[in-house]
Structure 1
Amino acid sequence: MNTFQVKLSRYADLILQVGLNLQKGQRLIIHAPISASSFVRDITSKAYDLGAKNVIVDYDDEQLRKIKIEKATDEGLKDFPQWKAKGYLEMAKENMALLNLSAPNPEIFQDSDPSRVALVNKTAGEAMKDFRQYISGGRINWLIAAIPTKEWAKTIFPELSTDDAVSKLWEQIFYTTRVDQEDPVPLWKEHISAMNTRADYLNRRKYKTLHYKGPGTDLTIDLHTQTKWLCAEFINDQEVHFVPNLPTEEVFTIPIKTGVNGTVSSTKPLNYGGNLIQNFSLTFKDGKVVDFQAEQGYEVLKNLLSADEGAPYLGEVALVPHDSPISNTGIVFNNTLFDENASCHIALGNALNICVEKGKNMTKEELDNIGFNDSIIHVDFMIGSGELDIEGERTDGTKEPIFRNGNWAF
């Protein structure tokens, strides 16, 4: 095999063996764009070699969604196939593994009516909400990984030819997932161990409030005593360890729903459902967004914040050092999977109950009592830079540096 094929094979192995940690006898569902069919076949073959019971591929076509958004009636936009929602939920209950190959066109819906795009997203979010609880709760092993498309590559490298842009993007994916190294598996184990060490330190300090200061950002976020910091290594209901994002650089927790106050400014574009939202800021009072601005994508952001009652509240707080492999590429990927792992970020919408002690077994009322946010959306956006400082306030009122100039202070 040539060098590219060797790296591509390593990438597939990393996805199945480290990311998903696919188990023998497990059913695998692959959600992917139709342009990724060649790589999907490679993944499928390797999955069966690992003992997969069955591999089911659910192809997606953004162009078909755009046609629907432009031509369907309002009633058609509200129509989601219930058989699909029930099927995914049924397979989740039977311990499926889910691979989501992310290959978006960041600008495909840029000229579409934002309210119609929002209606389609809301309809799908409501229909798939029960299944999404298996994802946000880490109850099944799942993974988001990326594969280039021509459209995505050209938004990042517009000066290159299409073929060169795709090749360049493959290089970056291989680099940021450590697949360009001879044996990436032990490198990933070492990386995960280092992130767990950071999370353990934060848990020992038991911070009650985080204070963010940076250009356009002056924000406080309150944390509950029952929440905990994690890195992106999860354990599902069958005690299987998996890494749900490739690449990943974050250590994260959840805030108290009503405990966010101040203003925060984005530092990278947000690709939300085929639309770019750029140079935006949010102002919070008692947890809720009460004001917002955006140089591009204002209507998209407005619709996002009104998706449901929980949409204008936060559901995640994540720390990512500015000095990290993805950030050091100097590339804005226009893809949250990469950009959120190059920058500290926070997420609007649904909180992750894995960040709560015994959260998987708590009732909705018990989660509500500790300030847990519930929503059909979970949208990360980037707020980190080399100028961001974060302090942690402990229960006795003392403050300690967590980040200085965008990097860990301990």
Structure 2
Amino acid sequence: MTSSTTTGDFQTKLARYADLLVRTGVNLPQGGKVRIAAPVEATELARLTARAAYRAGATDVRVVYTDPHLELALYEDGTDEAVTFLPDWVASEREAMVADGYAMISIVGEDPSLLAGVNPERVAARSKAQAQAMKTVMEAIGGMHVNWTVAAIATPAWAARVYPQLSEADAVERLWADIFTTTRVNGDDPVAAWAAHTAQLGRLSRLLNDKQYAAVHLTSGLGTDLTVGLATNHIWMGGGEAAKNGIYAVPNLPTDEVFTMPHRDRVEGWAVASKPLSVRGQLVEGIRVRFEGGRAVEVTASRGQDTLERLIGTDEGAAHLGEIALVPASAPVAQTGTLFLNTLFDENAASHIALGRCYPTNAVGGDDEAVVVAAGGNDSLIHVDWMIGTPDTDVDGITASGEREPLMRAGEWVI
């Protein structure tokens, strides 16, 4: 660690951050169990988080460390068989933890360009194999069968990509500062700050749910002109969410989005990316997609088009939308002025859409797969968010009778 991250002030904030992951992120109850997945650089945060969990009354804390360079080694030196191999027990273990009610804390901080030189066909093959093997787990987590959250750590490799003009030490310090700002850790009581913030997102969700718009229409100066039809009996959500076990959790730290389920067959027009997309270890820039009858029928990118095309070709549902999310331009992530090259952050700087799988919790009766399908929900092995919002984005709600009502003007809420 650099000297800037060993000061008393940093250590105080890091401890608050760990406490936030436990008390707000997964809201771990007395007697709860938790799985923490973290990169090898996150040992200090993982230990602090484990301590916070035990103070909250946890009966078991399991920490799993990951090293993306081992994944790079697999792609560069592994056989084709090795690339697509995943032992059955890997999925079985995670399924057993879900069944046993383990809360899930994921700490991310990967180098967004680590796999830039890897054959994208190998990355796509492994991504698909992993998605197939972990489908049951991902559906359970997406359906909030357990309380879970995702947060980040400032790793040197990620910081170097975000702030290439700075020294390694300064880049890490700057990235930590942005993480603490956007997760509201800088105040004396981050848990209370998040309670107030999620209450505001809840207010917006209730307003939109009462309206039950047939569609939303987004336009921007970049060229987005997109009408997103909404699923029948859709549910807008934002901030926190009650898991099936009754525990109210905040799945993303940070989060400033209010999101719902599109109708898979009722999306029309152009979506133009406002930020690069970091996906499968590759950077995809200049994305332009035209939707017709809900399906992506024209797909271009100024960089990484092969990766984008393979992503959309994963399965039938990958060419349809599974999420529409509205985010104000004044959100803390946007105000940092930083392009994080990480979806957890960048999606909370701009309104966005997601290709692939919907969240069943975004529809009334979503526990029943047949209900989700009938409502217009989409299924896929992937769920990939990409940003289309800008400071000049306007959003209208369209009623069943075709009337338009303003929701956002110049990137800000007007409701």
TM-score (norm 2): 0.96
User: Does 2:235 match 1:228?
Assistant: yes
Counterparts of 1:133-148 in structure 2, within 5 Å, are: 133-148=139-154
Contact 1:229–1:253 (CA under 8 A) maintained in structure 2? yes
Letter in structure 2 aligned against 1:117: V
Q: CA deviation at 1:24?
A: 2.0
The AA in structure 2 aligned to 1:96 is: Y
Q: Which runs of 4+ in 1 moved over 3 A?
A: none
Q: Which residue of 2 aligns with 1:17?
A: 23
Instruction: Look up the match of 1:379.
Output: 384
Measured after TM superposition, the shift of residue 405 of structure 1 is: 1.0
Deviations 1:52-73 (A, max 9, x none): 1211122111111011111222
Q: Which ranges in structure 2 are unaligned for 5 or more consecutive residues?
A: 1-6
Asked if structure 1 preserves the Cα contact closer than 8 Å seen for 2:258 and 2:326, the reply is yes
Match of 2:253 among 227, 246, 257: 246
- Equivalence map 1:187-226=2 (5 Å): 187-214=193-220, 215-226=222-233
Cα deviation code 1:35-68 (max 9, x no counterpart): 1112111111221222212111221111110111
Alignment of 1:94-243 (within 5 A): 94-214=100-220, 215-243=222-250
Name 2:74's counterpart in structure 1: 68
Other-structure match for 2:3: none
What RMSD in Å do the two structures reach over aligned CA positions?
1.1
> In structure 2, what is the Cα distance between the partners aligned to 1:45 and 1:408?
39
Identify the residue that residue 369 of structure 1 maps to in structure 2.
Answer: 374
2:143, 2:359 within 8 Å by CA — same for their partners in 1?
Answer: yes
Give the TM-score normalised by the residue count of structure 1: 0.98
Opposite residue 202 of structure 2, the aligned amino acid is N
Take 1:39 and 1:213, find their aligned partners in 2: how far apart are those partners?
Answer: 41
Aligned partners of 1:291 and 1:2: how far apart in 2?
Answer: 53
3-state DSSP of counterpart to 2:364: coil
- 1:395 to 2:400 alignment: yes
Counterparts of 1:28-43 in structure 2, within 5 Å, are 28-43=34-49
Partner Cα separation in structure 2 for residue 312 and residue 232 of structure 1: 27
Give the letter aligned to residue 259 of structure 1: R
- Tell me which residue corresponds to 1:325: 332
Secondary structure of the corresponding residue to residue 297 of structure 2? strand
Q: Structure 1: which amino acid aligns with 2:16? A: R
Q: 1:276 aligns with which of 271, 283, 286?
A: 283
Match of 1:338 among 345, 369, 373: 345
- For 2:300, the equivalent position in structure 1 comes to 293
**How far is 1:409 from its partner?**
2.0
SS in 2 for 1:174: helix
Question: Matched residues in 1 for 2:294 and 2:401: separation?
Answer: 23
> Is contact 1:315-1:372 (8 Å) kept?
yes
**Separation in 1, partners of 2:192, 2:272:** 37
Q: CA deviation at 1:315?
A: 0.3
**8 Å contact from structure 2 (residues 363, 375) kept in 1:** no
Q: What amino acid maps onto 2:356 in structure 1?
A: G
Cα distance in 1 for residues equivalent to 2:236 and 2:52: 34
Aligned with 2:285: secondary structure? strand
Preserved CA contact (<8 Å) 1:69 1:120: no
> What SS class does the counterpart of residue 20 from structure 2 fall into?
helix
Task: Encode CA deviations 1:102-124: one digit per residue, 9 max, x unaligned.
Answer: 11100001111011011111111
Percent identity among equivalent residues? Answer: 39
Question: Could you tell me which amino acid in structure 1 is paired with residue 156 of structure 2?
Answer: K
Shift in Å, 1:273: 2.3
How far apart, CA to CA, are the structure 1 residues paired with 2:156 and 2:289? 32
- The one-letter code matched in structure 1 to 2:85 is D
The CA deviation at 1:147 is 0.3
In the alignment, structure 1 residue 90 sits paired with structure 2 residue 105: no
SS of 1:117's equivalent? helix
